[in-house]
Amino acid sequence: MRRAGVLLLSALLSCGAAVAGEAHWLPSHSDVEKLEAQAKPPKGYRLDQYDRSYSGTFVSDRKVIEGHWIQVRTPGQKPRVTIVTYDQLPQVMDGGCSVVTVYYDLATAKVTGVACNGVA
């Protein structure tokens, strides 16, 4: 049931309405820091185990940051945090909790979802 909710949320977010003709936007470093201060990785994982990419989109005329976290696989590699255009967010269709998607509502300053990918 939880996975169905995550899939529905993902579908809704991908169809987000544009504001003033814009489909996407770039979050500030400050906004990303606020998101990361709240977002909790899945149980057994730490935030510093993931490369993290962020972009902005609209959901029901609200600004939402969408983040894609991908677990670092190279020992000793420092994770990267990047702000990218929406089409540059990494796309991975499986991977379990080694790939996580996070959503943050800018107006409420709250994380609205954190979900592991499915497993193929």
Annotate 47-85 with b (16+ C-beta within 10 A) or e (fewer): eeebbbbbbbbbbeeebbbbbbbbbbeeeeeeeebebee
Supply the pLDDT for residue 73: 87
Going by C-alpha positions, the residue among 36, 15, 14, 103 that lies closest to residue 67 is: 103
Domain spans of the chain?
2-116
Phi, psi of 60 (to 5 degrees): 50, 50
Residues of the chain with pLDDT under 50: 1-19
Which pLDDT score, from 0 to 100, does residue 26 have? 98
pLDDT value of position 5: 40
**Residue 75 confidence (pLDDT):** 82
